[in-house]
Amino acid sequence: MSPLIFDPAAHTYTLDGQPVPGVTRVLQALPNEYAMVDPEVLERAAEIGRAVHWIIEHKILGDLVADEVDFHLLPYLDQWLDFRRTSGFQPLLSEGQVYSRRYRYAGTLDLFGRLNGRLALIDAKRTAAVPRSAGPQTAGYELALRECRPDLLPITERVDRFALHLTPQRWQLVPFRAAADQRVFLSALTIYQWSKAA
């Protein structure tokens, strides 16, 4: 039995019976790149983003009925299929829940698998542009995945991190190579934990 419990309605995580923050909540300690965007616009974009993630997950699981996908979302499905065909990406995890007992946080990564013969951790983004915070975000997922699933990501094996930027017209893989990404994530986690201890 997993020590991690996820409540999808509240989007909260419990690890070993204690609440822990999710990766996206931790990243709220970083500067808000969307502070000037209308909240209603952000919520609508978030709804579409959740739908696109659902389509990707269920396409991987093999239970997606394309005829039942909203026609507004079909271009995203087409781009996902083109990405798979073109890149040869082979998923090992989709919407995989990960956690760190050492650092006391959890999260749900989008995609983890093999790309060009190497391990790759990919966060799907449907935003107008890939936010800077996606680098620390993927680093947070990598750190937790290494700790809780060494069978999938041994400590000695390198993993490439990307954002898969999906638009209705195209897809683009954006790499994250900055060693500072992990430090930024852990700094945000420290700030989050400090603010909750006050």
pLDDT in tens, 6-19: 999 899 999 999 99
Q: The pTM is what?
A: 0.93
Residue found under tokens 């209603």: 40
pLDDT at 187: 97
pLDDT at 80: 96
pLDDT at 198: 62
Extract the residue ranges of the chain whose pLDDT is less than 50.
none
Q: Answer left, alpha or beta for residue 90, where phi above 0 means left and psi between -120 and 50 means alpha.
A: beta
Token reading at 107:
């999260």
Task: Please state the φ and ψ torsions of residue 128, each to the nearest 5 degrees.
Answer: -60, -35
Q: Compute the CA torsion angle 163, 168, 56, 155 (nearest 10 deg).
A: -10
The enclosing H or E element of 166 equals: strand 159-166
Residue found under tokens 């909540």: 25
pLDDT in tens, 108-124: 999 999 999 999 999 99
- The order of strands in the sheet holding 118-125 is 90-100, 105-115, 118-125, 159-166, 171-176
- 160, 118 Cβ separation under 8 angstroms: yes
User: What domains can be seen in the chain, in order of their start residue?
Assistant: 36-197 (3.40.1350.10)
